[in-house]
Amino acid sequence: MHESDEFVLGVDLDGVCADFYAKMREVFADWRGVDIGELSAEVTYGLPEWGTLPGEYDRVHRFAVTQRDLFLSMTPIVGSAQSIRRLGTEGVRIRIITHRLFIRHFHQTAVAQTVKWLDQHAVPYWDLCFMRDKSLVDADIYIEDTESNIQSLEAANKTVIAYTNSTNRRMNPPPLLRANNWSEAEDIVRSRYYAWRQERNMALPLAPGHEPPESGA
Q: Is position 187 annotated as part of the catalytic site? A: no
Using the predicted structure, report yes or no on whether residue 130 has a pLDDT greater than 80: yes
pLDDT of residue 45: 87
> Which bin fits 56, alpha (ψ -120 to 50), beta or left (φ > 0)?
alpha
Count CB-CB contacts under 10 A for residue 104.
8
106 in the same domain as 26: no
165 in the same domain as 113: yes
pLDDT of residue 216: 44
Lowest-pLDDT range of 3-7, 92-96, 162-166 = 3-7
pLDDT of residue 103: 72
Domain that holds residue 97: 8-18+76-199
Confidence of residue 201 (pLDDT cuts 50, 70, 90): very high
217 belongs to a structural domain: no
Q: What mean pLDDT is predicted for residues 99-111?
A: 81
Using the predicted structure, report yes or no on whether residue 93 has a pLDDT greater than 90: yes
188 in the same domain as 97: yes
* Three-state SS at 87: helix
Q: What mean pLDDT is predicted for residues 110-133?
A: 96
CATH number at residue 12: 3.40.50.1000
88 in the same domain as 59: no
115 in the same domain as 168: yes
63 in the same domain as 102: no
Exactly one of 5, 12, 127, 133 is catalytic; name it: 12
150 in the same domain as 65: no
Task: Name the domain count of the chain.
Answer: 2
Residue 16: phi, psi to the nearest 5? Answer: -120, -50
Q: How far is CA 135 from CA 49, 78, 98, 131, 160, in A?
A: 29, 26, 12, 9, 10
Lowest-pLDDT range of 4-8, 86-90, 137-141, 159-163 = 4-8
Q: What mean pLDDT is predicted for residues 164-178?
A: 96
Pairing between strand 141-144 and 93-98?
unpaired
Exactly one of 5, 14, 35, 138 is catalytic; name it: 14
* Three-state SS at 130: strand
Using the predicted structure, report yes or no on whether residue 46 has a pLDDT greater than 60: yes
pLDDT of residue 215: 43
Q: In what order do the strands lie in the sheet with 141-144?
A: 127-130, 93-98, 8-11, 141-144, 160-163, 177-179
216 belongs to a structural domain: no
Q: Is position 138 annotated as part of the catalytic site? A: no
Mean per-residue pLDDT over the chain, rounded:
92
3 belongs to a structural domain: no
161 contacts 188 by C-beta, under 8 angstroms? yes
